[in-house]
Amino acid sequence: MDMLDIQFNAATREYNAPLQVKANNGVLVIDDLGRQRFLPQRLFDRWIVPLEHHIDYLTVGTDARFKTPCNAIIVFSTNLEPGELTDDAVLRRLAYKIKLGPLPVDLYMRVWIAVCDEMKVTFDKELLNYALTELYPASGCPLLACHPRDLIGMALDKASYDQRGGRFTAEDLRWAWEIYFLPKTDELDPSETAPVTTGSFRTWTT
């Protein structure tokens, strides 16, 4: 919350502008909403005036108070249900709500290709088909946009560890899949889920 107000640096004797001022004429993304150390409602209450009137009131010291434009596009991102974070009055002020769910296959393919390009690895259609026809159907997992980056990155880590250069195989991809998606407890063999106690922490072996 302090980052939304003017901060004074005693060492340099300079004032630092708050995030929304730095983001003017741009975009300010507040990620993982609901996982901060304070209630989301406090954050929404702080944004009521800026969101409605595109101005903000800031204070310097104890007496100096002034008005400043707030022309940033504010984006709140969360994995939680919006209704769990605040009430209807606030949600009405956040007029545009976009749910990012599973991707259609064609868009997932585009993301996969883009990730390959970003990671400077040759796109292999067979590996993509392996993921789409073998890995996903067997698990029932939805096609989420974050999966290509994570799975390809882990598969490349495995190939690099094995000193096989900047390419990965279907075996590398399956290895990444099996440690990325932990199986549910009821899907494990009972002999593989024996509890192990170490000090005051209880862990599980698989």
Q: Among 109, 130, 116, which Cα is nearest to 173's?
A: 130
Q: How many beta carbons lie within 10 A of that of residue 61, not counting itself?
A: 9
**What local confidence, expressed as pLDDT, does residue 191 receive?**
52
Residues in the chain, pLDDT under 50: 192-206
Residue 197 confidence (pLDDT): 38
How deeply is 12 buried, as exposed, middle or buried, from its count of CB atoms within 10 A (0-12, 13-18, 19+)? exposed
**Which DSSP letter does residue 32 get?**
S
Q: Is 63 helix (H, G, I), strand (E, B) or coil?
A: coil
Answer whether 123's CB lies under 8 Å from 113's CB.
yes
**9: Cα separation from own chain's centroid:** 30
Non-local (6+) Cβ contacts of 166 within 8 A are 120, 121, 156, 159, 160
70 three-state secondary structure: coil
Distance CA 40, CA 60 (A): 25
CA neighbours closer than 13 Å in the CB half-sphere of residue 206: 9
Burial of 111 (0-12, 13-18, 19+ CB in 10 A): middle
Domains of the chain in start order, with CATH, are 2-93 (3.40.50.300), 105-185 (no CATH)
Task: Write down the pTM of the prediction.
Answer: 0.67
SS3 content of the chain, % helix, strand, coil (to 5): 45, 15, 40
Q: CB count, 10 Å around CB of 75?
A: 14
